[in-house]
Structure 1
Amino acid sequence: MVTIKDIAAQLGVSASTVGRALADDPRISGAMKQRVQEVAVELGYVANRAARMMRGVSSKLVGLIVPDIRNTFYSTIAHSLSKCLEPEGYQLMLSETDDDRLVELRHVRELVSVNVAGMILVPSAKPLPEMVRLLKSVRHVQLLRELHSLGGQRFGMDDRRAIELGVEHLIELGHRRIAYIGPTEDLSTGAARLEGYRHALKAVNAWSAELEVCGAPTQGAFGAEALRRLVALKHPPSALVLGGVQHTQGVLDECIALGLQVPEHLSVVGFGDEPGFRWWNGGLTTINVPVSEMATSCGLWFLHQLQQPTNDMPRYRSVSAPTLVLRSSTRALDAPVKRRTRNSANA
């Protein structure tokens, strides 16, 4: 590997001068810094990160820990965060846990070992105690989900209100047998969404425990299985609200497999607004989550914290508002089918 000594020999200066020039030391002239940079590029010099870590210098790496990169929520988050961090010289490192807390711990250990500048994470439901302790040594912020044991910094959405929007829309259309498929209550997002579902239906005395089906948010197959279970009930639902993107995709696929007509047989409110949802069966009525905006706000705030001289993180909670996008997958109960020709959004 090319070293600082190699650059110094090429320029005929001391290694300390080259080191200071690469570190942008104000004692080194601009002309010398430019010469050092030119030779470093010519020789293919790469800074020794391990040596920097031994000197206690924080890296320019920021860890992003998410459950499932197949979920476009997380790919969108990764893209938005990367665009926020790049202009300031930070690089995003992506880790996927599949909500396995042992995998989560391993990733956190590795990120701490390379002295990352900070971490942005979507935590599992019950992180291991060692993982919680490790996070106390590094700047971090929670995204989407929230665990009080991990600190008071979180960027998320009003999950309860999100599901209330979908249920209230269906209630206004005359539905009362409204089912729900969503994440389990052990996740903060799952608990809040289920609370929103129950609250909206109990307000009109229409809640029924048999119409709730909750499971792993990363499994589209669960959404399909849950739909089969619901339509097999003695009194099946007339409408359905989804609480997760993967669940929504599984349900839409299963509707086709079962020959279930939407909205003739079942009115459906999805979760998230994937590009395909806009044209599925004439357009899916869905709960839109401002994922990109949320991630950008998180990235800009976190970048500001990384540039502070102290590792102390202030408590900060940002809650984004969801919206309901109205399309053609819902209709008034017992009303003749009238498909919309244009999409509309309703906050």
Structure 2
Amino acid sequence: MITIKDIAARLQVSPSTVGRALANDPRISATTKQKVNEVADEMGYVANLAARMMRGVSSNLVGLVLPDIRNGFYATIAHALSKCLQGAGYQLALSETDDDRMVELQSIRELASANVAGIIIVPTAKPHRETVRLLKLSPHVQLLRRHAAIGDQWFGIDDTQAIFEATRHLVELGHRRIGYIGGTDDLPTGSARLKGYHKALPGGESADPALVQLGAPGDPEFGLNAIRRLLSLSKRPTAIVAGSVQMTQGILEELTTQGLRAPDDLSVVGFGDELGFRWWGPGLTTVGLPVHDLATACGLWFVHQIRQNSGSPAPYTSISPATLILRGSTRKQGTAAKTSARAAVRGATV
């Protein structure tokens, strides 16, 4: 294995000079740094992370802790952050929690032990107190979800407004029995989206409790079973709003299985704009999320914070608006009513 001493011998300089050049020490000239890095690359030098950690030097790794990489929403975030960080000389280290607080704690412990440069986290509903303590030892920022105990640096989406716009669209089309299938309100995103749904109901009306189905936002099976329950009601909804990407997937799967068509049998507004959503039926009306731009903004801001190396960064919040994308899966209730008899027959088989 090539060492710093090997590079120093090749350049006929001291090992300390090589070490400082590789660490981008300001005491070393730009010319020397360039020569050292060129020779290091030529000789195939790989930095010894363990040795750097013993000297208290942060690695060039940035941890990303999120619930589920299988969700296209989070995959896009990971990809955008990876590209953003690479451009700044950092590498992304990915951890999945499956929204389990103990898995989350283990991930944070491993990242802390690797002396990462910082951590970007989509936190679980109730992070362990040890998770909170460890996060405060490293630069960190919350993404999408926010917990006051973790800190005041957060990049997110206006979840309340997103679902408000989706529900109001259906209200303006004449729908009154509007079902909502979303995440539980123990998550800040779930609570905010549910608030948007209730806020959009006409005249401040309270929704029929039977029309609101709440579960794990990352579980398409819940979405599938929830739409079954709503369709089996004696007074079924005429429209549905989804509150997560994977619940939307479950809803669409079940509607397709039952042979129900939007908007003939039911108007549907999804959440997120996965590639297949625009091709489903007549095209899914859905809440478009600024995922790539949000992740890139978060990454650029975080790199700046790491380089500033400020012990107690000032509170910072960035909220990005969602956009309602209108396609063919929604229409006026009066028009949809023409096929209600056929829909009711299909619903009886659920």
Q: Normalising to structure 2: TM-score of the pair?
A: 0.91
Distance apart, 1:312 and its partner CA:
1.3
Q: 1:26 to 1:130 in 2, by over 3 A?
A: closer
Amino acid of the residue matched to residue 335 of structure 1? T
Counterpart-to-counterpart distance in 2, 1:176 and 1:218? 27
The question of whether the paired residues in 2 share the 8 Å contact of 1:142 and 1:153 is answered with yes
SS state at 1:149 partner: coil
| Equivalent position of 1:283 in the other structure | 283
- Cα displacement (A) at 1:197: 1.0
Aligned in 2, Cα 1:103/1:9: closer, same or farther, shift over 3 Å? same
Distance 1:13 1:320 in 2: 51
Q: 2:128 corresponds to which residue?
A: 128
Farther-moved stretch of structure 1 (4-13 vs 89-98): 4-13
Instruction: Tell me the alpha carbon deviations over residues 132-166 of structure 1, each in whole angstroms, 9 at most, x when there is no partner.
Output: 11111111111111111111111111111111111
Q: Could you tell me how far 1:119 is from its partner in structure 2?
A: 0.8
More displaced, 237-246 or 18-27? 18-27
Distance in 2 (alpha carbons) for counterparts of 1:191 and 1:7: 57
Indicate the residue corresponding to 1:156 in structure 2: 156
Q: Partner of 1:68 in structure 2?
A: 68
| Match of residue 116 from structure 1 | 116
Q: Which residue of 2 aligns with 1:344?
A: none
Query: What letter is aligned with 2:98?
Result: D
1:264 maps to what in 2?
264
Kindly state the Cα deviation for residue 106 of structure 1 after the two structures are TM-superposed.
0.4
The answer to whether structure 1 residue 83 and structure 2 residue 83 are counterparts is: yes
Give the match's secondary structure for 1:94.
strand
Displacement of 1:171 in angstroms is: 0.8
Cα 1:300/1:17, change in 2 over 3 Å: closer
Equivalent pairs counted in the alignment come to 338
Partner Cα distance (2:98, 2:83) in 1:
24
What is the letter of the counterpart of residue 265 of structure 2? Answer: H
Q: Distance in 2 between matches of 1:31 and 1:133?
A: 42
User: What residue is the counterpart of 1:329 in the other structure?
Assistant: 329
Q: Could you tell me which residue of structure 2 aligns to residue 197 of structure 1?
A: 197
Within 5 Å, give how 1:1-347 maps onto structure 2. 1-25=1-25, 33-201=33-201, 203=203, 205=205, 207-335=207-335
Q: TM-score, normalised by structure 1?
A: 0.92
CA distance in 2 between counterparts of 1:336 and 1:32 reads 73
Aligned to 1:218, the other structure's residue is in SS state coil
Q: 1:30 to 1:197 in 2, by over 3 A?
A: closer
Deviations 1:33-85 (A, max 9, x none): 45543442333211111111211111211111110111111111112212222
1:82 corresponds to which letter in structure 2? S
Shift of 1:27: 5.7
Match of 1:73, SS state, is helix
Task: Give % identity.
Answer: 61
Partners of 1:16 and 1:333 in 2: how far apart? Answer: 75
Deviation at 1:227, TM superposition (A): 0.6
Relative to 1, partners in 2 of residues 1:311 and 1:266: Cα closer, same or farther, differing over 3 Å? same
In the TM superposition, residue 92 of structure 1 has moved relative to its aligned partner by 1.1
Shift of the 35–154 alpha-carbon distance from structure 1 to 2, 3 Å rule, reads closer
User: For residues 329 and 295 of structure 1, do their structure 2 counterparts lie closer, same or farther at Cα, with a shift above 3 Å needed?
Assistant: same
C-alpha distance in structure 1 between counterparts of 2:26 and 2:120, whole Å: 33
Between 173-182 and 295-304, report the one with greater CA deviation: 295-304
2 CA distance for matches of 1:290 and 1:26? 38
In the TM superposition, residue 31 of structure 1 has moved relative to its aligned partner by 5.8
The 1:27–1:314 alpha-carbon spacing in structure 2 relative to 1, beyond 3 Å, is: closer
